[in-house]
Structure 1
Amino acid sequence: MAHLHDIVFDSAHPASAARFWAATLDEYSVAPYDEAELLRLRSLGFTGPEDDPTVLVEPVSGRGPRLWFQLVPEEKRVKNRVHLDIRTADLETETVRLAGLGASVIARHDDHTVFTDPEGNEFCLFPITS
């Protein structure tokens, strides 16, 4: 039996994509960089976290999938074949908050709103219903 471990996003700028998703999702944060990781990045020719080609966003509790953002040279060209669905207690307030983080609304439906993140990846926001 297999278990979901990571969700990986191809990205033009992994650090900013990771910050967006860490701010979007409750109880997630960008993984901290220790000195050993900073030294490893510098040895590969990177200056630090801002130009890291692979950035990890992890659940604070350690439970749930991790999100990896990896640098790819090509731009996003077509609609996602897979997207994330997220939920909120207040759809309108969360819509405003996500827009402030850089998301764009691309469609509103009776039961959810479709967004793109700052790199054009689609995701949906649903209200929490009982």
Structure 2
Amino acid sequence: MALEWEQLNVDAADPVALGRWWTEALGWVVVNDAADEYEIRPAKDRLPGLLFAPVPEGKTIKNRLHLDLRPDDQEAEVARLLALGARHVDVGQSDEVTWVVLADPEGNEFCVLSSRRP
């Protein structure tokens, strides 16, 4: 049996707005822009993607699954994401961690890791 990771589903109050935010944040492409199923991918024919779908309830607790993003320049990337509308969040991390925890406009946490050093 073979499995391929197709996408990660993200519940959203406004799938289109959140999907557009992540499109800009990741530099990905939109493959479906319907209001009930907004999907983005790294490239049109490349997996996995992110699929944003509407839900009536809002986010209430810390995500149990989140994205870790590794930039070339952590400080510059955090500043760029904050300018796009992300915000710093505290999920209990210590001051000594090497990553930065942010949340997207609907409060979904994600981490911006430190840059890889050669």
**TM range, normalised to the smaller chain?**
0.7 to 0.9
Q: What amino acid is the match of 1:62? A: D
Provide the C-alpha distance between the structure 2 equivalents of 1:67 and 1:60, rounded to a whole number of angstroms. Answer: 12
Name the CA shift for 1:58/1:116 in 2 (closer, same or farther; >3 Å): same
Partner of 1:30: 30
Q: Which residue of 2 aligns with 1:89?
A: 72
User: What's the counterpart of residue 16 of structure 2?
Assistant: 15
Runs (4+) of structure 1 exceeding 4 A deviation are none
Q: Would you say the 8 A contact 2:39–2:50 is kept in 1?
A: yes
Task: Give the structure-1-normalised TM-score.
Answer: 0.78
Give unpaired runs (5+ residues) of structure 1. Answer: 34-48
Please state how far the C-alpha of 1:83 moved relative to its aligned partner. 0.3
Q: 1:80 to 1:32 in 2, by over 3 A?
A: closer
TM-score, structure 2 length as denominator?
0.85
Cα distance change on mapping 1:13 and 1:109 into 2, 3 Å:
farther
Distance of 1:88 and 1:75 partners within structure 2: 29
CA distance in 2, matches of 1:112, 1:70: 28
In 2: Cα distance, 1:83 partner to 1:4 partner: 16
Sort the Cα spacing of 1:61 and 1:55 in 2 relative to 1 into closer, same or farther, 3 A: closer
Task: Report the Cα offset of residue 63 of structure 1.
Answer: 2.3
Q: SS of 1:118's equivalent?
A: coil
Alpha-carbon offset, residue 112 of structure 1: 0.7
Q: Note if contact 2:66-2:109 (Cα within 8 Å) is conserved in structure 1.
A: yes
CA distance 1:109–1:69, shift in 2 (3 Å): farther
Structure 1 position 120 matched with structure 2 position 103: no
Q: How many residues are treated as equivalent by the alignment? A: 112
Task: Name the CA distance, whole Å, in 2 between partners of 1:88 and 1:68.
Answer: 22
Report how far residue 64 of structure 1 moved. Answer: 2.9
More helix by share: 1
- In terms of Rg, which structure is larger? 1
**Aligned-pair RMSD on alpha carbons?**
1.8
Superposition map of 1:31-70 within 5 A: 31=31, 49=34, 52-60=35-43, 62-70=45-53
